[in-house]
Every structure is written in C-alpha cells, then in structure tokens.
Amino acid sequence: MVAVTVTRRPPRLGVALVALSAAVGAAALGLASPAAGGLGAAGVAFVAVGTLVGSRRTLGTGAATLVAGVLLAGVLAAAGPGPLLVGGLAAALSWDLGEHALGLGEQLGRETDATRNVATHAAGSVAVGAVAAAVSFGVYSAAAGGQPVVALVFLLVGAIALVSAVR
C-alpha cells in the first residue's frame, strides 16, 4: 500500500494571484501618496505570507492594511478616484482570492491541479469588482459637483462591501 501525503497549503497559482493583486493596489496607492504606498507594501507582505503559510488571520491583516492605505490616500492625501478605486478593488480581490486559495489548500492540498478553479474564481471576482468600481466611478462622476473626497472614500468602502457580499 502506498501512502499519499497531502500538503494542506494553497495552490501556488492562488498565492501568486493574491500577491499580484495586492501589489497592483499598493502601486496605485503609492502613486497617490508615498505613505499610503508604504502601508500598501506592508499589506502586500501580509497577504502574500498569510496565503503562502495558510493563515487566515495574517491574510485578513494584510487586506485590512491595504484598506487602511486606501483610506490614508483618500483622506490625508486627497487622492483622486482612480488610485482609490484600484487600491480598494485590489484589497477586496486579494482577500477574496486568498480566502479561496486557503479553502482549496485545506480541502485538496497543494499537489492537486486547481489551475482551472483558481483562474475561474479570479476571473469572476475581477469581473464583479470591475463592475462595482465602474458603478462607483459613475456615481462619483455624476456627483462630482462639489462633493468632498471623503464621500468617495465612503462610496469605495460600500463598493468593497458589495464585492465581499457577492462572494
């Protein structure tokens, strides 16, 4: 009888997509504010390590750090809607993709070929997030006649909640 060992870690593609998503968000935040970019970089490290080692707590800390970077860029640096939407979408995506990868790792292990599953989930999440960001930007553009940037930040938080709820 042959013993089969299953490594209960997320698939490598899942880890890579989480890190890529968070890095895009951190880069967008860095364009708006160096301080927000630094916070975003810390978020990238947390989500990447959390996903790699299978820690939901570390993953959540990283996603929350990315959201804090978005808030910092919006409130203190008065960043425009572009970096805030990209940063918020990246925070939501990195958390969602990380949770999915962790679930796959727990259920199937790292040795299982889950490429199609990870890619399909990522495509769906990006599509939902892009629609939420487009709607958020449309509302911002329609109400841009004198609304403060803080209103956009709260709208962005609502869009992130929508993406998380659709998950």
pLDDT confidence band for 87 (50 / 70 / 90): very high
The domain spans of the chain are 12-166
| Single pTM value for the model | 0.81
Per-residue pLDDT of 67-78, as tens digits, reads 999 999 988 877
DSSP of the chain, one letter per residue?
--------S--HHHHHHHHHHHHHHHHHHHHH-HHHHHHHHHHHHHHHHHHHHT-HHHHHHHHHHHHHHHHHHHHTS---HHHHHHHHHHHHHHHHHHHHHHHHHHHH-TTS--HHHHHHHHHHHHHHHHHHHHHHHHHHHHTTTT--HHHHHHHHHHHHHHHHHH-
In degrees rounded to 5, what are phi and psi of residue 9? Answer: -130, 155
- For 107-162, how does the pLDDT look when each residue is reduced to its tens digit (9 = 90+)? 887 788 888 999 999 999 999 888 888 888 877 777 766 556 666 677 677 777 76
- In the chain, the amino acid numbered 111 is E
* 147 contacts 131 by C-beta, under 8 angstroms: no
pLDDT above 70 covers a percentage of the chain that reads 86
